[in-house]
C-alpha cells in the first residue's frame, strides 16, 4: 500500500468512527483505490503537461523567428493554440478524476486521434528524431478518453526519444487486433484497436522491464519522475484496455496500447 493510500485509509477510518460506522468497508476501499490511482497519475500528468507547454513555447519561438513569413507564423501560432487547448483539456480531465467522476470515454477513430496528435509528437521528439506514422485501413472505432490518450502517447514517444540518444526513428502504427487464447496477464479475448510505438534505441534488460511500470522507478536518474509509464498503465486500466511492453537490450522497445471496442462493434 502506498503512503497516500495508507493516509487515506486512516482518514476514512476516523471519519467512519466519528459517524458511527455509517461508511461501509466497500466505500472506504473504493475511495482508497481512487486516491492511490490519483497519486500514481498526478506526477506523470504534470510531467506531460510540462512537455506540452514546452511544445507551445517552441511553436511561439519559431513564430518569432519567422516574423517576416506570415504563412509560417500563422501555422506555428495555430499549433501553439492547439497545444494550449490540449493542456487545458488534460487539466480538466485530471480535475474530473480527482472529483470522483468517470473518465470521459468516447467512441473515437484511433487513426484520427493519432493524426491530430502527430505535430505535437514530432515537436516532442525533437530534432534528429523522425516520427513515422503507418496507420491501418481497417481500424475499428474504440472507447477512449482523448485528453488522457494524448498524454499517454506523448509520454511513450518521449521515452522512445530518450532511448534513441543519438537520433533515429520512432514508428507509430495502428491495426485491428483479435486476441485469442490469451496468456495470464495478457488482454482478454476479443477485438481491439491497437496502437503500437516502436523504437530501435538502447532497449531494456529483462530485469528493468519487470520494474518499468512500477511507480517511481526510473532509469533516468534525476531527470526522470518514474511516473510516466505508471500513468499510462492507469489510463489503460481506466478505459478497460491493455498495455504491454517488449524490449531487449541493444535492440529497442515496442509498446502496445489495446483499446476496447464499444459493445455494438464487438
pLDDT one-digit tens code per residue, 54-74? 777 777 777 777 777 777 777
* pLDDT reported for residue 2: 42
Handedness of CA 95, 23, 7, 235 (dihedral sign): negative
Q: Is residue 41 pLDDT above 70, yes or no? A: no
- 3-class DSSP state of 255: strand
Residue 26 in grid coordinates: 466497500
Q: Whose CA is closest to 195, among 93, 112, 90?
A: 112
Percent of the chain beyond pLDDT 90? 19
Give φ, ψ of 258 to 5 degrees. Answer: -105, 120
Per-residue exposure over 177-213, b if at least 16 CB sit within 10 Å of its own CB, e if not:
beeeeeeeeebeeebbbbbbbbbbbbbbeeeebeebe
* pLDDT reported for residue 234: 80
Q: Which domains does the chain have, with CATH numbers?
A: 106-265 (3.30.565.10)
Amino acid at each position: 500500500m502506498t503512503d497516500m493510500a495508507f493516509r487515506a485509509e486512516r482518514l476514512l477510518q476516523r471519519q467512519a468512527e466519528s459517524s458511527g460506522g455509517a461508511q461501509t468497508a466497500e466505500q472506504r476501499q473504493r475511495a482508497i483505490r481512487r486516491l492511490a490511482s490519483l497519486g500514481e497519475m498526478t506526477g506523470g500528468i504534470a510531467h506531460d503537461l510540462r512537455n506540452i507547454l514546452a511544445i507551445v513555447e517552441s511553436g511561439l519561438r519559431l513564430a518569432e523567428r519567422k516574423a517576416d513569413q506570415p504563412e509560417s507564423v500563422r501555422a506555428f501560432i495555430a499549433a501553439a493554440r492547439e497545444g494550449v487547448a490540449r493542456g487545458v483539456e488534460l487539466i480538466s480531465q485530471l480535475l474530473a478524476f480527482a472529483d470522483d467522476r468517470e473518465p470521459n470515454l468516447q467512441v473515437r477513430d484511433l487513426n484520427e486521434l493519432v493524426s491530430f496528435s502527430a505535430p505535437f509528437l514530432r515537436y516532442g521528439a525533437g530534432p534528429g528524431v523522425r516520427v513515422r506514422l503507418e496507420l491501418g485501413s481497417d481500424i475499428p472505432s474504440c472507447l477512449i478518453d482523448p485528453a488522457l490518450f494524448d498524454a499517454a502517447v506523448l509520454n511513450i514517444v518521449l521515452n522512445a526519444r530518450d532511448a534513441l540518444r543519438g537520433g533515429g526513428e520512432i514508428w507509430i502504427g495502428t491495426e485491428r487486433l483479435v486476441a485469442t487464447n490469451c496468456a495470464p496477464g495478457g488482454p482478454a479475448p476479443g477485438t481491439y484497436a491497437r496502437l503500437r510505438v516502436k523504437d530501435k534505441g538502447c532497449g531494456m534488460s529483462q530485469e528493468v522491464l519487470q520494474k518499468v511500470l512500477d511507480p517511481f522507478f526510473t532509469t533516468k536518474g534525476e531527470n526522470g519522475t518514474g511516473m510516466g509509464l505508471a500513468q499510462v498503465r492507469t489510463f489503460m486500466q481506466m478505459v478497460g484496455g491493455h498495455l504491454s511492453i517488449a524490449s531487449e537490450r541493444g535492440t529497442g522497445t515496442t509498446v502496445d496500447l489495446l483499446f476496447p471496442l464499444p459493445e455494438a462493434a464487438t
